[in-house]
Structure 1
Amino acid sequence: MTLLALLGLFTALVTFGLSLAVYRFALRFKLYPAIRERDVHTRPTPRLGGVAMFLGVLIAFGAAWLFSAHFSLLSIVFNDPKPILGILGGSLLIVVIGVIDDLVDLDWMTKLAGQFVAAGLVAWSGVQILSLPLGGLTVWSPLTSVIITVIVVVLTMNAINFIDGLDGLVVGVAIIANCVFLVYTYSITVRTSPLNYFSLASVITAILIGACVGFLPLNWHPARMFMGDAGALLVGLLMAASAVTVTGQFDPSTLQHVVGRTHLVSAFLPIVLPLAVLIVPFLDFGLAVIRRVNAGRSPMAADRKHLHHRLLDMGHSHFHAVLIFYAWTAVASIGMLLFSFAPVVPVWAAIVFVVVGLLACTAVTLAPLGRRRAVMAAESHIAEPTIRAADASAEAPVAHKEAS
């Protein structure tokens, strides 16, 4: 865990330096698009943060590969370089597409085609969903495994990209979700492979956390630079890749035996936990697709009705809306993580944490509605005497005329 933490810290420092360099480069050559109608920010801002994040990830993988020559346990991750090369190749492709889209605004069909190609590179390299704990161990045929993996990667990339609308939102959600996922992958690796604590999923997650932490100072409100489609799609691809490697890494029967046969939920965690940490992005993505299809529009057409837009319309400030997203992500991901530590953490404790957390998040989310009702009620009480006085003054001349 110390080596993973150092790898994440190294990635953060490198990404922060690269972010400053890219930011100055973008300002010098005026590489920032015009403000769109759906945008929340009010001044032109560079969207090349994804470039700095990708370069940080690339350098971090290179450094990890060099260090693997001195750490035998880490070298196991790099014995087969094909999956890493596939992930980096897909990342490069998606970053290039994202940068072009941020600068010249590609049509959605071109972007979607590029996403499928990038996801195909990841699946082709061997990062695939090989098994699922559904009624025992289910092994897919090679073609089915590739198809499902590609769909999962594309859906995850778009889900992350859809919530990229507020300063610091995606990087913060990614940091929280991946920290939880890193603890899970590390703990499961320790319990299933006591002679080797490293896995490809842990390395990917640690590097991604570092890249997000390094970029966050420039992306915090008010943001000096956005990650753009390149960064959001990159984050989604790496999160999907790490989750897919975990899904196929462990035999569900072995995992269930390790975590305890009485806690069946734990055997499903390789599938459930990635969904839990991404519950908010997937919810926003699903609602957006349904909304646009019902309106007769393309499911990829942009609009200003995402969940973060609705929070702003409810009366939340920019800062509060971002914190609400953080809170929902933390409750869902940490709550699900607690189940993996059974019986050390009682199941009832995990349930209580989730229930209390969800109630608190709901109350905070809906708080502006209560304040709005109170303000409207107060305004109605103030306006009612004014209306009565106006009516009385309007009737007085009429009465005087009739008397005369």
Structure 2
Amino acid sequence: MLYGIAAATASFLLATVLAALLRAPALRLGLVDRRRRRPVPLLGGVAVVLVTGLVAWAGHRSGVVPLGPAAVRLLVAASAVAALGLAADVWRLRRRWLLAGTAVAAACVVPYGGTGPVAGAVAAGWVALVAAVFRGLDHADGVAGTVGVVTAFGIGACAAAGLMDGLAVLLLVLAAALAGFLLHNWHPARIALGGCGSLFTGFLLAGAAVSVGAGYEPGGGAGVLCALTAVPVADAVLVLLSRRLAGRPLARRGPDHLAHRLRRLGLTAQGAVVVLGGAALCAVLVGVLAHTGRVGGPAVLWVAGGSAAGVLGLLRVRVYGPPRLRRRGAGVSQPPPGATGVPGGESSPGAIFPVRQATSTENVQVRAPLRVRNG
């Protein structure tokens, strides 16, 4: 217990200092998130990854809190995924390569002995998807960090209840590192997680949840996993549905996430984070109680129903602008090249149809200027 408190305190302080130090190099190298209204540096995730790995590894090597083979394998795989995310931040890798690499790493950490081959393959795909979803949560200030802290505490509680002390300490260290990072990511954010930190966080949380739920009844275990990650899953479902219904490409970015829609309803940036953090806390609490047997399966169904109602309600919030008119063939006549919108050869930016100018063969009535007599 004392080591857990000391490790969490060290992680919090180190992540706070390191995130502040990495901001200037990120700006100098041009590693910024351009999806926001103002460029935000992306190396905050590097601070979270380094601090989590160093503090957890120090406890393991010193023998105070051995992580165990499963937790060590999970930390190594999550670090490899973080390196892949950092490469995506630097060289703009395609999403399919990120998803494929994350899926391969997830296949290496799933406990097939407790899940079986088929359920293990499904769990590996789920881990890869949750990691990708956490990368999408990093679009707004404070969202990914807040949801990550709440989820890490919840899964850590499940691990502690299952006497998986090494995994519980690893998740506690991750939660503390994310809390230190949040000091710089709260609105207005001075640094962001980037692909490095968001993929690392999502992969570590999803992999730990699968390890904690291995050996339980498949239906109940799946319900607990969905409750522990209710907010990220709801965000992914909302984005996919809205883009599908709007006829937009699924890979095309847009202001259609949970935080964007809450802002459209009138909430501030901080208010949206508080609402999403509260929703994540309620869902995670139900997942922990269901995992420990304090509540039954209907409680998880309530979480699923609440998530579905929230998605359907926010789906009605308009976030896409009107479609752009094509230059040709869009049903709007366009002026020929060289035509102007007003007489005299001056163009009018608001004119759509050209004004036909009179020619010398047409009868034109010209009014002579009025003469004003002096006196």
Corresponding residue for residue 87 of structure 1: 74
Aligned-partner Cα distance in 1 for 2:235–2:245: 15
Aligned-partner Cα distance in 2 for 1:129–1:296: 39
1:44 offset after TM fit, Å?
1.9
1:295 offset after TM fit, Å?
5.2
Verify the 8 A CA contact 2:131 2:200 in the aligned structure 1.
yes
Which structure is higher in helix share? 1
Cα distance change on mapping 1:275 and 1:146 into 2, 3 Å: closer
Corresponding residue for residue 100 of structure 2: 113
Cα distance change on mapping 1:163 and 1:150 into 2, 3 Å: same
SS in structure 2 at match of 1:301: coil
SS in structure 2 at match of 1:225: coil
Corresponding residue for residue 239 of structure 1: 205
Cα distance change on mapping 1:30 and 1:246 into 2, 3 Å: same
Cα distance change on mapping 1:287 and 1:53 into 2, 3 Å: same
Aligned-partner Cα distance in 1 for 2:165–2:216: 15
Is there any run of 5+ residues in structure 2 with no aligned partner, and where?
Answer: 318-375
Aligned-partner Cα distance in 2 for 1:9–1:24: 25
1:335-362 deviation line (CA, Å, top 9, x unaligned): 343445666xx87xx96xx79xx79x97
Corresponding residue for residue 225 of structure 2: 274
Cα distance change on mapping 1:298 and 1:84 into 2, 3 Å: farther
1:145 offset after TM fit, Å?
4.9
Is 1:311 aligned to residue 255 of structure 2?
no
Corresponding residue for residue 287 of structure 1: 238
Aligned-partner Cα distance in 2 for 1:306–1:34: 16
Corresponding residue for residue 67 of structure 1: 62
Letter in 2 for 1:304: P
Aligned-partner Cα distance in 1 for 2:220–2:9: 27
Verify the 8 A CA contact 2:155 2:208 in the aligned structure 1.
no
User: Which 10-residue stretch deviates more, 160-169 or 98-107?
Assistant: 98-107
SS in structure 2 at match of 1:222: coil
Corresponding residue to 2:53 among 53, 58, 64: 58
Corresponding residue to 2:187 among 190, 213, 221: 221
Verify the 8 A CA contact 1:130 1:145 in the aligned structure 2.
no
Aligned-partner Cα distance in 2 for 1:312–1:96: 33
Is there any run of 5+ residues in structure 1 with no aligned partner, and where?
Answer: 132-138, 190-197, 253-266, 370-404
Say how many residue pairs are matched: 311
1:179 offset after TM fit, Å?
1.4
1:293 offset after TM fit, Å?
4.3
Corresponding residue for residue 199 of structure 1: 165
Verify the 8 A CA contact 1:89 1:118 in the aligned structure 2.
no
Counterparts in 2 of 1:2-401, with a 5 A limit? 2-27=2-27, 29-33=28-32, 35-36=34-35, 39=36, 42-68=37-63, 71=64, 74-75=65-66, 77-78=67-68, 80=69, 83-120=70-107, 122-123=108-109, 127-128=110-111, 130-131=113-114, 140-141=116-117, 144-189=118-163, 198-248=164-214, 250=215, 270-294=221-245, 298-339=249-290
SS in structure 1 at match of 2:162: helix
Aligned-partner Cα distance in 2 for 1:283–1:157: 14
Q: Compute the RMSD of aligned alpha carbons.
A: 3.4
Corresponding residue for residue 347 of structure 2: none
Verify the 8 A CA contact 1:56 1:211 in the aligned structure 2.
yes
1:241 offset after TM fit, Å?
1.4
Aligned-partner Cα distance in 1 for 2:100–2:293: 43
Cα distance change on mapping 1:334 and 1:272 into 2, 3 Å: same
1:201 offset after TM fit, Å?
2.9
Corresponding residue for residue 370 of structure 2: none
1:17 offset after TM fit, Å?
2.4
Letter in 1 for 2:268: S
Aligned-partner Cα distance in 2 for 1:50–1:13: 15
Cα distance change on mapping 1:145 and 1:273 into 2, 3 Å: closer
Corresponding residue for residue 135 of structure 1: none
1:283 offset after TM fit, Å?
1.1
1:225 offset after TM fit, Å?
0.3
Aligned-partner Cα distance in 2 for 1:338–1:228: 32
Q: Which of the two has higher C-alpha Rg? A: 2
Letter in 2 for 1:140: G
Corresponding residue for residue 389 of structure 1: none
1:360-402 deviation line (CA, Å, top 9, x unaligned): x97xx99xx9xxxxxxxxxxxxxxxxxxxxxxxxxxxxxxxxx
Letter in 1 for 2:267: H
With normalisation by structure 2, the TM-score equals 0.72
1:195-254 deviation line (CA, Å, top 9, x unaligned): xxx434313311211221121111111111000121111110000111111122x565xx
Cα distance change on mapping 1:269 and 1:64 into 2, 3 Å: farther
1:279 offset after TM fit, Å?
0.7
Aligned-partner Cα distance in 2 for 1:224–1:325: 21
Verify the 8 A CA contact 1:128 1:145 in the aligned structure 2.
no
Aligned-partner Cα distance in 2 for 1:147–1:307: 29
Aligned-partner Cα distance in 1 for 2:219–2:62: 34
Aligned-partner Cα distance in 1 for 2:165–2:159: 8
Aligned-partner Cα distance in 2 for 1:34–1:154: 22
Verify the 8 A CA contact 1:158 1:285 in the aligned structure 2.
no
Aligned-partner Cα distance in 2 for 1:170–1:201: 21
Percent identity between matched residues is 24
